[in-house]
Copies of this chain bind each other. A is one copy, B any other.
Amino acid sequence: MEMVPQTMPLRFIPLGGSGEIGKNLYVYEYGDDIVVVDCGLTFPDEEMFGVDVVIPDITYLLGKADSVRGIVLTHGHEDHIGALPWILKQLNVPVWGTRFALGLVRRKMADHPHLADCELNEIDPDRDLTLGQFKVSFYRVTHSILDAVGLIIDCPAGRAIHSGDFKFEHTPLAGPSTDIQKIALAGRSGVLALMTEVTNSGDPGWVPSETNVSRTLHELMSTAQGKVVVSSFATNIARIREVFHLSVEHGRKICLIGRSMRENVEVAHDLGFLNYPEGEWFVDIDDVASVEDGMVTILATGSQGERTSALSVLSAGSYRKLKLGPGDLVIISADPIPGNERPFYRMVNRLCRLGVEVVLNDEAQVHVSGHANVEELKLLLSLTRPRFVVPIHGEFRHIARYKKLALAMGWPGEDIFTLGAGDVLELSSSGARLAGKVPAGRVLVDGLGDIGKAVLRDRRHLSEEGVVVVVVNVDVQSGELVGRPDVVARGVVSNEDAEPFAEAVRKVVCSAIEDAEISGPDELESARAAIQSAVKRVILDRTGRHPMIIPAITLL
């Protein structure tokens, strides 16, 4: 009898994100080999009180640490590399990325020195990488950051294509266009699955060309009389380079403000992505006042209105040496990130208030997206013709729209998979199936460690209603109060009401203690409950609020 070799399936598992949509970190597993793709973070939403960053839960990887051959990065945006400092601390495996992506990772060493002990390997997109039984090939893509790649991931079970973030752009401002030929070749030899980003699946047509933005910026600079401020993402070196060129063309010196703008420009320059005549064209913020208004371009971080960012500080008029006013022009070369409209427009309003002319992307094309629109998503499907389609890296509404598009192109619904964090998708030539769930999801990082749900629940309560602390001392012999109860309220009443408020609380606490007849530790719990409910009632009557009430009873 001949032995038929058992083909193992390729296992694909997103570990970050939510149970609904997995994202930020993807596991490709074949037998004893695991390749991790990307290692990103997200920023907390408004319900995550006090949380600094949200990173993927890698419990699953820690249990198979010996199998992890490394982490391959598609590009250097924070939602693809930002969790590395935390993840590498728990699982120190080699990291592969393009030159610019690694440049941005290395920049994190200042805040996370332990990264210096990690193995960071630069990839050459024209050379394949062997990681255990996986072969990873790369194709260059255009995105809103330089040096981004898509991945062709081969293993004995078949080929997966992992799009990373991408768009098709025939005339990028810098860097190569997406390598359509290489994708087509990879597709022609048969693709088991396409893991594709779907961020812009609700946007029809093609993303307009970057050259439109260049043209608009040129026109705006041609007529500008005063200072010109351009704000864009600090990682968008192609856009920044264009602003450099246009400024030089219009005889304007360049002033960089915002830490990440200065650092990224330095990284890009050091790595050869950005050439400029040293010194000559730059002016420091401390000297910007000495340059004529019409002779300077200010490149600023803060296109999203982040509280402490450069443009936000400018809009508040808080730079001592750089003030904006009538005659100056602020170009926000970015769209508000969905969900971030409030701080974005709050900053725009402040700029308008200064009398500055503000140009947003809805008025003139000063920005284009870095993500593929509907027709580009279709093109990728046609180029790759995968057996199975796995939309990743979008919200559920984007996935729903993408699914419609793939159905219209002929893929049957059962060949399109939506994965939540921890969902295991097994893929092989004989089919694809969901094969259970592994631990995964969001880890909320606050200060030095992660925090749990109970802590967040308490913070929400505190944030909405405040806290009242009641301190009482009881003589265990007589069951009577010693001294008067101490009442401390925070976030409940204003200073002028504080004393009458405390007096009212004290009164009900005194009667509650009297009624409790405490004669030992056994009655403590019920006395606490009695104080809780009496104080709760009097505060609700007085203020209509439900603060957190913390009674502290000491028996003497």
Contact = CB atoms under 8 A, between A and B. Distances in A.
A447 B50 contact: no
A449 B550 contact: no
A171 interface: no
B448 A459 contact: no
A316 interface: no
A436 interface: no
A448 B543 contact: yes
How many copies, total? 2
Nearest to A339: B342
A459 B466 contact: yes
A552 interface: yes
A358 B543 contact: no
A224 interface: no
Interface stretch (A54-62, A206-214, A396-404): A396-404
A396 B545 contact: no
A407 B548 CA distance: 54
A66 interface: no
Interface in A505-556: 542-545, 548, 550, 552, 554, 556
A5 interface: no
A460 interface: yes
Interface in A351-402: 352-353, 358, 362-363, 395-397, 399-400
Contacts of A452: 494-495
A467 interface: yes
Nearest to A540: B447
Contacts of A46: 46, 342
Interface in A450-467: 451-452, 454-456, 458-467
Interface string A68-94: 000000000000000000000000000
The secondary structure that dominates the A interface is mixed
Contact of A349 (B395, B448, B449, B493): B395
Contact of A358 (B352, B363, B397): B397
A550 B469 contact: yes
A233 B539 CA distance: 35
A490 B348 contact: no
A134 to B, nearest CB: 32
A337 to B, nearest CB: 10
Given A339-B341, A348-B397, A397-B349, A545 B446 contact: yes
Interface in A468-501: 469, 471, 473, 482-483, 486, 488, 490-495
Nearest to A400: B352
A49 interface: yes
A556 B458 CA distance: 32
A130 to B, nearest CB: 39
Bin the interface of chain A by size. Answer: 35 or more
B455 A486 contact: no
A259 to B, nearest CB: 21
A316 to B, nearest CB: 12
A503 interface: no
B466 A463 contact: no
B458 A490 contact: yes
B399 A352 contact: yes
A331 to B, nearest CB: 14
A467 B467 contact: yes
A20 interface: yes
A202 interface: yes
Given A49-B463, A473-B473, A543-B447, A338 B345 contact: yes
A484 to B, nearest CB: 10
A461 B397 CA distance: 35
A245 interface: no
B556 A473 contact: yes
A488 B20 CA distance: 36
Given A465-B50, A490-B462, A495 B544 contact: no
A32 interface: no
Given A50-B464, A471-B471, A490 B556 contact: no
A543 to B, nearest CB: 5
A552 B490 contact: no
B399 A449 contact: no
Contacts of A458: 466, 490-491
B353 A20 contact: yes
Contacts of A349: 20, 395-397
**Most chain B CB inside 10 Å of its own CB: which residue of A49, A338, A467, A550:** A467
Given A349-B397, A447-B545, A486-B554, 6 more contacts: A338-B341, A345-B395, A349-B395, A455-B493, A469-B552, A471-B471
8 contacts: A46-B342, A338-B341, A345-B397, A352-B397, A447-B544, A455-B493, A458-B490, A473-B556
* A-B complex: 7 closest residue pairs judged by Cβ atoms: A447-B544, A463-B463, A448-B544, A462-B462, A50-B464, A458-B491, A349-B396
